[in-house]
A and B are shown apart, each in its own frame.
Chain A
Amino acid sequence: MAPPAQSQRSPSPSQPSGKSEVSDLKLQLRQLAGSRAPGVDDSKRELFKKVISYMTIGIDVSSLFGEMVMCSATSDIVLKKMCYLYVGNYAKVNPDLALLTINFLQRDCRDEDPMIRGLALRSLCSLRVANLVEYLVGPLGSGLKDSNSYVRMVAVMGVLKLYHISASTCIDADFPSILKHLMLHDSDTQVVANCLSALQEIWSAEASTSEEASREREALISKPFIYYLLNRIKEFCEWAQCLVLELVTKYVPSDSSEIFDIMNLLEDRLQHANGAVVLATIRVFLQLTLSMTDVHQQVYERIKAPLLTLVSSGSPEQSYAVLSHLHLLVMRAPYVFSSDYKHFYCQYNEPSYVKRLKLEMLTAVANESNTYEIVTELCEYAANVDIPIARESIRAVGKIALQQYDVNAIVDRLLQFLEMEKDYVTAEALVLVKDLLRKYPQWSHDCIAVVGNISSKNVQEPKAKAALIWMLGEYSQDMQDAPYVLGSLVENWDEEHSAEVRLHLLTAMMKCFFNRPPETQSALGAALAAGIADFHQDVHDRALFYYRILRYNVSVAERVVNPPKQAVSVFADTQSSEIKDRIFDEFNSLSVLYQKPSYMFTDKEHRGPLEFADELGNLSIGEAANNVVPTQMVEENDKDLLLTTSEKEETKGSRNNGSAYSVPYDGSSTSVFASQTQIESAVSNPTLAGHSPQASFAIDDLLGLGIPAAPAVLSPPQLKLNTKAALDPSTFQQKWRQLPVALSQEISVSPQGAAALTAPQALLRHMQSHSIHCIASGGQSPNFKFFFFAQKFEESSNYLVECVINTSSAKAQVKIKADDQNTSQDFSTLFESALSKFGTS
C-alpha cells in the first residue's frame, strides 16, 4: 500500500506513513484483545488513540476493524467512545464487518448507565449501512421511551439518521408520529427541539409524495403549536431558540393584535447574548410586520441598536455575517440609518470584506445633511494602502455624486483625484467623470480642462481608457488636441488588447470626425481599416457598419452616431427588486451573504461552473485570468449605462435562467456570415464613397486576403443516435468512473464557432440538434468544459464525452468513453462533425 499523499506532503514526526505501523498496531491489538490483566485498559487507550490519530490524518486503518471490535469489550467509557468513533467512520466501507459490531452496540443500548445507552444508540445510528437498518428499529423504539432524557435526545436524532438511510423503514416503524407525541409532551426542551428539527426534515422530504406529511408540516406552523413553543421559548437552549424563531417566521398571524402579542413576547430576545438568537428575532419582527408599513418602520428603529452592537463585537467573521444583514436593511431603507453613518466608517485594520460592505452602506445612506462628512471620509480611503478598497471608495464618491446631492463639491474632489497621479486613482476617477458628464453635461467645462491634461499613456486600464476616449470623442470640439490624441491611439491599434477600448475608439473617431473633419479624416480611415481587419467580432461589425453608413450618407451617419444627447437621468440598478425581495425573505441565511436568493446557489442547474464534486480539482484556477474581454461583458457594460431598468432586468432574468442565452448568439453568427459575403460584392463595386479613399483602399487590400474558408464539413458516418436519449447525472458519474477512455483527441473548432461560444448554452443547443445531450457544463471564456452523452438509436448503449474547449486557440480536447467500444470511432467522427458545424449553420 502506498503511503497516502497527505502524509507525504507533511512529513512531521507525528505522522507515520506506512503499512508497517498499521500491521504493528494490529498485532498489539490482538495481544490485548483477550487479556484481562490489570492496566490493560490504559495500554488499550494508547493504542486506540494512535488508531484515531492515523484515521484523522487520512491513513486507512480500516484493516484493523476486526481487532478494534474485539477490543471493544470493556467498561471504560473513553475506550468505548473511541471505538464508536472508529466504527462510525469505517462501517460504511466494511458493511460485513459492521455486522460484528451490532451485537455489542445492541447490548450497550441496554446498559444501566444512561450515558452508555445514549452513546451506543448514537453510534448504532451512525453506522450508515443500509442492510443493517433492521437492527436499528428495536433499540430506537426503546430509546424513544427511555426514562432518561439524554437517551431520548439521542434517539430522536437517531430517527432522523435512520430516515436518511432508509426512509421507508423509518416511516413503516411509525417513528414520525412517536416523535410528534414526544414533541408535544416531553418535559425536556432539548428533546423537543430535536424532535422539531427531525420532523421538519422528514415531513418536508415526504411532503411531495404524501398528503399526510404535508398536512403535518402545515400543522407545525399552526397557531396552537406555535404558541406552545413561544410560551416555552425561555426554557430552550440558545440554539433551539433559533430553531423555534425560524419556525415562527413561517407563521401567519390572523390579525394585528396577534402580531403585537408575539412581538411583545419576543422583545427581550433582542437582548440575548447570543447574536444568532438576536438575528433570528429580528427576522421574526421584520417578517411579521411586512404588511404594516408604519410598524415595519418602527421595527427598523428598534433593531438598529442591537444590530450595531452585534457588528461591533465578536470576531471579524461574525461581524461580517451580521454586517451583511445590516447591509441588506440599509439598502432597503437607507433613510432609517442616515444618522448612523459614523458606524460605517472603516477602521484601518479591518479586513477588506468588512470595509467593502461599509463603503456600500456609506454610499447608500448619504443624504443632504451628511454628504459632506461622508465624502470627506471616503476621500481619506482613496489614499488607502489597500488598493481595491481605495478604488471602491472613489467609486462610492462617484455614486454619491450621481445621487445628486451637493454635486458641486464632489466634482471638485473628483478632479483632485485626477491630479493625485496614482494610476489606479486616475483610472477610477476617469470612469466616474465620464458618468458624471453624462448626467450633468453642464460640468463639461471644468472637467474638460482637467481631463485634457491627462496623458493617455498614463492610463492603462481598459475601462479608464475607454472613458477617456469617450470624453475625447464627445468633447472633441472643446479639447484642442483631441484628434491628435485619438490619432496616436489609432496608430497603436494592434497594441490595444481590450476590445472595449477599440470599440470606443471607433466611435470616438467618428464623433471627432463630425466635429473636426479635416483634422480627423486620415486617422478615421486608418481606424476603420484596422477595425474591419480586427479579429474581434463586435469591433469588426461596428467598423463595417460605420464604413457603410458613411458611404451611404455622411449626414445620416452623423445623425446616427453623434446626435445631440440628453442627459441620463437615472442609471440602471444592478439587481432587480424582485431578487432583492427574495433575498429579504431569506433573511438570516447564506442568501444574504452571497447577495443572491438561495435557488441560485443550491439548485443544481444554477450552480454554474462546478457541478461534479469530483471535478473540483480539475478546472484550473487560472481561468479567471484571461485578458480578452468577452463580448458578452462589453455588451453588458454598454447596457449598464444605457438600458432602462426594465430592460436590464430582462437580461438579468434570462441569464439567471440560463436558457434563453444561446439564441442571440446563433443569430449573430449567421448574420455575420451573410454580411461578409455582402462585403465581397460591395468591394467589387467600383463606386466607392469619395470622402475616405484611403479607408476604402485599405479595405480593398484587406479583403483581398479573403475570409477563412469554413472547415470542410465531414459527412456523418452510419451511426444513428437516439434523439430523445436520457441519462441521470448520477448514472453518468458512475459510468464515467467505471469506463475506460476509448478515445482521446484534439479537435479544432471553426473560428466562427469559437467566436459564437461566449456562453456554454450556445453550444448545448447546437449539440442537442445533433442528438448529443449535455449533462453538465461550465467555465468562462475562453475555457469551457462540457460533459455530453448520447445513446445509440434503439439500443441502450451510451457514449460519454468530456469536452474542453478553448475559444482563444479554437481547440477542443475531447475524451470519449463508450459502453460499446467498437463504435466509439464512429461516434467520435459524428461528434467531430457536429462540433465543426457549430457557428456555421
Chain B
Amino acid sequence: MPVAASAIYFLNLRGDVLINRLYRDDVGGNMVDAFRMHIMQTKELGTCPVRQIGGCSFFYMRISNVYVVIVVSSNANVACAFKFVVEAVSMFKSYFGGAFDEDAIRNNFVLIYELLDEIMDFGYPQNLSPEILKLYITQEGVRSPFSSKASDKPIPNATLQVTGAVGWRREGLVYKKNEVFLDIVESVNLLMSSKGSVLRCDVTGKILMKCFLSGMPDLKLGLNDKIGLEKESQMKSRPAKSGKTIELDDVTFHQCVNLTRFNSEKTVSFVPPDGEFELMKYRITEGVNLPFRVLPTIKELGRTRMEVNVKVKSVFGAKMFALGVVVKIPVPKQTAKTSFQVTSGRAKYNAAIDCLVWKIRKFPGQTEPTLSAEVELISTMAEKKSWTKPPIQMEFQVPMFTASGLRVRFLKVWEKSGYNTVEWVRYITKAGSYEIRS
C-alpha cells in the first residue's frame, strides 16, 4: 500500500502539538511523546528524516518553524509520504495565502482539520489539488495582512465538478482579459575546485505558469530544445534552422500535460489549471553558461594574519545585470579584525557564520569588481594545523538570462470562442548551490 499513514502531527520547535490527526487505530496515542523523547530531544534530530521507534516509523520534515510528522506502522512508501507532505503544505499555503508557519497554523487550525479530513481518508491520500478542494472547502483562511484578499464566492453544486475528465480545471471560467504569464526559473549548481576547474555543474529549471484564461483553452508550448526541434523539422520535412539548441537531460511535467503527445510529437500541449502552477521541470548538465567566475587568492601570512583577494567576473551580456549578489568568503573562527577594500558594493565580517560577506546590489554584465581584505587572527595554542577552508558561496539572481540557454519559441492558445490572449514571458537564473573551493 502506498502510504496508509496512521497519524499526522504538526509540532512547533518546542514540541507542542499544533495539529494532531489520527487516521488509524494501529498506533498508540502517545506517538507524539515518543517522537519528542526519541527524536526531538536527542542529537538524532536532523541526522535522518526517517526513524523507527518501537514498531512505528516516523517520517518528519521541518518546514519553517514547524515539524510535520507522519507515523506509519507498516512498510510504507516513503517517497510518496514525503511528496504528500510537500503537496499538502503547498495546498495549505494556497489557503492561508503565503506562509506556512506556527502562527498560520494556530490561526487556521479548524480549516486545517477540515482539509486533513478531505485529503486523506483512513491513511490513504485522496484528492489534493487546491483547485478542486477550494470548490467545496470554501472557508477562507485567516490571511496575513500583506496578501491580497481573495474573492469569496462559494460555488454551488461543487461536488459535481470534482470528478470531471479534466480533474484540474473547472468549467465555466470567465476572464475579461485573457492573460498567460510564463516564468522560466533556473538554478545553477556549481562546484569548482581550487584550481579553477569545474568539478560539477548542472542546471535545474522549472517553468511556472499563471493562467487567467476563459473556458477550456488548449495550449501548446515550443522550446528551443534539441529533440523538439528535430522532430518538428522532420515533420515539416525541412532542415532545422541553425541556432542554439538545448539538450535536456530529463523533463517532468505537470499532470495536465498530454504525455502521449509529448512522446510522439515532442510538443508540450495541455489544458492548464486555473491560476498558478508548475508546468514542467528539467535538468541540464551539458553546455551550461556560468553567469559568474570567481577567482580567489587567500594567503596566510604567519599565524595571525590573512590576506584575501577575490575577483568576481560577470560573464553574461553587458546590457544585463544581476541582482542581490552575495559572496560569502569563509574565514577562521578566531578572526579578530578585518579591513576591506572593494571596487563595488559593500563588505563586512559576519562572526555568526564566520564569513566575510560581500554584497553587490546591482551587478552589470562583463565587469569584474574585486574585494581585497586583511584579516587579523587571535593566535591560539589549540589550532595546530592550517584551518580547513569551507568553500566560497555565492547567491545571485540574473533576470532575462538562462544558464541553460533555453528560450520559449512560441506559446499558442486555442479556445473554441477564439479570444485573443496576452502572453508574458520572463526568464531568471538564480544560484542554487554555487560553491568555489579556495
Q: Taking CB as reference atom, which chain B residue is nearest A243? A: B2
Q: Which of A197-212 contact B (CB under 8 A)?
A: 197, 200-201
Judged by a CB distance under 8 angstroms, whether B288 is at the interface is no
Judged by a CB distance under 8 angstroms, whether A114 is at the interface is yes
Are the CB atoms of B263 and A153 closer together than 8 Å? no
Q: Which of A1-52 contact B (CB under 8 A)?
A: 6, 10, 12, 14-15, 48-49, 52
Are the CB atoms of B14 and A10 closer together than 8 Å? yes
Judged by a CB distance under 8 angstroms, whether A149 is at the interface is yes
Judged by a CB distance under 8 angstroms, whether A687 is at the interface is no
Are the CB atoms of A157 and B122 closer together than 8 Å? yes
Are the CB atoms of A604 and B121 closer together than 8 Å? no
Whether A610 contacts B50 in the complex (CB less than 8 A), given A10-B16, A56-B17, A57-B16, comes out as no
How far does the Cβ of B3 sit from chain A's closest Cβ, in whole Å?
8
Q: Which of B224-269 contact A (CB under 8 A)?
A: 249-255, 259-260, 262-263
The one of B17, B47, B191, B250 in contact with A347, judged by C-beta atoms closer than 8 angstroms, is B191
Q: Taking CB as reference atom, which chain A residue is nearest B28? A: A613
Whether A306 contacts B252 in the complex (CB less than 8 A), given A85-B113, A594-B52, comes out as yes
Judged by a CB distance under 8 angstroms, whether B199 is at the interface is yes
Judged by a CB distance under 8 angstroms, whether B388 is at the interface is yes
Are the CB atoms of A150 and B281 closer together than 8 Å? no
Q: Taking CB as reference atom, which chain B residue is nearest A15? A: B16
Are the CB atoms of B385 and A420 closer together than 8 Å? yes
Which of B4, B199, B250 has the most CB atoms of chain A within a 10 A radius of its CB?
B250
The one of B86, B124, B202, B433 in contact with A315, judged by C-beta atoms closer than 8 angstroms, is B86
Are the CB atoms of A197 and B254 closer together than 8 Å? no
Q: Taking CB as reference atom, which chain A residue is nearest B31? A: A613
Bound-complex Cα distance A119 to B162 (A): 16
Q: What 1/0 flags go to B16-33 for Cβ under 8 Å of A?
A: 111110101101101001
Bound-complex Cα distance A317 to B83 (A): 10
Per DSSP, chain A at the interface is: helix
Q: Which of A295-330 contact B (CB under 8 A)?
A: 305-306, 308-309, 312-318, 320-322, 324-325
Q: A594: which B residues are within 8 A, CB to CB?
A: 50, 52
The one of B82, B160, B390 in contact with A348, judged by C-beta atoms closer than 8 angstroms, is B390
Are the CB atoms of B47 and A352 closer together than 8 Å? yes
Are the CB atoms of A160 and B122 closer together than 8 Å? yes
Whether A317 contacts B125 in the complex (CB less than 8 A), given A385-B390, A421-B385, A590-B76, comes out as no
Whether A239 contacts B75 in the complex (CB less than 8 A), given A56-B19, A115-B136, A246-B1, comes out as no
Q: Which of B112-142 contact A (CB under 8 A)?
A: 113-114, 117, 121-122, 124-129, 136, 139
Bound-complex Cα distance A610 to B57 (A): 13
Q: A380: which B residues are within 8 A, CB to CB?
A: 437
Are the CB atoms of A150 and B30 closer together than 8 Å? no
Whether A271 contacts B259 in the complex (CB less than 8 A), given A243-B2, A318-B82, A602-B55, comes out as yes
Q: Which of A77-105 contact B (CB under 8 A)?
A: 78, 81-82, 85, 89
Q: Which of B252-307 contact A (CB under 8 A)?
A: 252-255, 259-260, 262-263, 278, 280-283
Whether A194 contacts B77 in the complex (CB less than 8 A), given A14-B106, A317-B61, A621-B38, comes out as no
How far does the Cβ of A377 sit from chain B's closest Cβ, in whole Å?
7
Are the CB atoms of B255 and A56 closer together than 8 Å? no
The one of A314, A593, A616 in contact with B38, judged by C-beta atoms closer than 8 angstroms, is A616
Judged by a CB distance under 8 angstroms, whether A780 is at the interface is no
Bound-complex Cα distance A148 to B159 (A): 8
How far does the Cβ of A156 sit from chain B's closest Cβ, in whole Å?
9
Q: What 1/0 flags go to B343-365 for Cβ under 8 Å of A?
A: 00000000000000000000000
Bound-complex Cα distance A46 to B139 (A): 14
Whether A610 contacts B53 in the complex (CB less than 8 A), given A267-B263, A349-B433, A351-B46, comes out as yes
How far does the Cβ of A465 sit from chain B's closest Cβ, in whole Å?
20
Whether A613 contacts B30 in the complex (CB less than 8 A), given A52-B110, A239-B125, A347-B433, comes out as yes
How far does the Cβ of A520 sit from chain B's closest Cβ, in whole Å?
34
Judged by a CB distance under 8 angstroms, whether B109 is at the interface is yes
Are the CB atoms of A347 and B435 closer together than 8 Å? yes
Whether A616 contacts B33 in the complex (CB less than 8 A), given A57-B16, A385-B390, comes out as yes
Q: Taking CB as reference atom, which chain B residue is nearest A587? A: B77
Q: What 1/0 flags go to A411-423 for Cβ under 8 Å of B?
A: 0000000001110
Judged by a CB distance under 8 angstroms, whether B84 is at the interface is yes
Are the CB atoms of B82 and A237 closer together than 8 Å? no
Bound-complex Cα distance A148 to B16 (A): 40
Judged by a CB distance under 8 angstroms, whether A829 is at the interface is no
Bound-complex Cα distance A750 to B126 (A): 59
Q: Taking CB as reference atom, which chain B residue is nearest A340? A: B285
Are the CB atoms of B281 and A273 closer together than 8 Å? yes
Judged by a CB distance under 8 angstroms, whether B172 is at the interface is no
How far does the Cβ of B46 sit from chain A's closest Cβ, in whole Å?
7
Q: B64: which A residues are within 8 A, CB to CB?
A: none
Q: Taking CB as reference atom, which chain A residue is nearest B126? A: A190
Bound-complex Cα distance A383 to B263 (A): 47
Are the CB atoms of A190 and B127 closer together than 8 Å? yes
The one of B37, B74, B163, B250 in contact with A306, judged by C-beta atoms closer than 8 angstroms, is B250
Q: Which of A180-221 contact B (CB under 8 A)?
A: 188-190, 194, 197, 200-201
Judged by a CB distance under 8 angstroms, whether A601 is at the interface is yes
Are the CB atoms of B113 and A321 closer together than 8 Å? no
Are the CB atoms of B79 and A279 closer together than 8 Å? yes
The one of B50, B200, B385 in contact with A593, judged by C-beta atoms closer than 8 angstroms, is B50
Judged by a CB distance under 8 angstroms, whether A335 is at the interface is no
Q: A349: which B residues are within 8 A, CB to CB?
A: 433
How far does the Cβ of B95 sit from chain A's closest Cβ, in whole Å?
14
How far does the Cβ of A458 sit from chain B's closest Cβ, in whole Å?
11
How far does the Cβ of A4 sit from chain B's closest Cβ, in whole Å?
11
Bound-complex Cα distance A604 to B158 (A): 46
The one of B2, B79, B106, B250 in contact with A318, judged by C-beta atoms closer than 8 angstroms, is B79
Q: B433: which A residues are within 8 A, CB to CB?
A: 347-349
The one of B24, B106, B126, B281 in contact with A309, judged by C-beta atoms closer than 8 angstroms, is B281
Q: Taking CB as reference atom, which chain B residue is nearest A269? A: B259
Which of A305, A422, A613 has the most CB atoms of chain B within a 10 A radius of its CB?
A613
Are the CB atoms of A242 and B16 closer together than 8 Å? no
Are the CB atoms of B86 and A384 closer together than 8 Å? no
Bound-complex Cα distance A242 to B79 (A): 11
Are the CB atoms of B37 and A617 closer together than 8 Å? yes
Q: B33: which A residues are within 8 A, CB to CB?
A: 616-617
Q: A807: which B residues are within 8 A, CB to CB?
A: none
The one of A85, A246, A325, A342 in contact with B199, judged by C-beta atoms closer than 8 angstroms, is A342
Are the CB atoms of B204 and A312 closer together than 8 Å? yes
Are the CB atoms of B249 and A308 closer together than 8 Å? yes
Bound-complex Cα distance A616 to B281 (A): 43
Judged by a CB distance under 8 angstroms, whether B167 is at the interface is yes
Q: A420: which B residues are within 8 A, CB to CB?
A: 385
Q: Taking CB as reference atom, which chain B residue is nearest A270? A: B252
The one of A49, A149, A313, A613 in contact with B54, judged by C-beta atoms closer than 8 angstroms, is A613
Q: B16: which A residues are within 8 A, CB to CB?
A: 6, 10, 12, 15, 57
Whether A320 contacts B49 in the complex (CB less than 8 A), given A242-B80, A309-B252, A315-B82, comes out as yes
Judged by a CB distance under 8 angstroms, whether A343 is at the interface is yes
The one of A10, A149, A280, A421 in contact with B384, judged by C-beta atoms closer than 8 angstroms, is A421
Q: Which of A748-807 contact B (CB under 8 A)?
A: none
Are the CB atoms of A157 and B165 closer together than 8 Å? no
Are the CB atoms of B391 and A383 closer together than 8 Å? no
Q: A189: which B residues are within 8 A, CB to CB?
A: 163
Q: Taking CB as reference atom, which chain A residue is nearest B393? A: A348
Judged by a CB distance under 8 angstroms, whether B189 is at the interface is yes
How far does the Cβ of A623 sit from chain B's closest Cβ, in whole Å?
12
Judged by a CB distance under 8 angstroms, whether B40 is at the interface is no
Judged by a CB distance under 8 angstroms, whether B380 is at the interface is no
Bound-complex Cα distance A81 to B113 (A): 9
Beyond known contacts A78-B110, A589-B77: 16 more, CB 8 A cutoff: A81-B113, A85-B117, A150-B136, A154-B121, A239-B124, A268-B262, A276-B83, A279-B77, A315-B86, A318-B79, A321-B50, A322-B79, A421-B385, A590-B75, A610-B53, A621-B42
5 contacts between A and B (CB under 8 A): A78-B110, A78-B139, A234-B259, A324-B78, A590-B50
- Nearest first, the 10 closest Cβ-Cβ pairs linking A and B are A268-B259, A239-B125, A276-B80, A305-B250, A598-B75, A383-B388, A317-B49, A309-B250, A613-B28, A157-B121
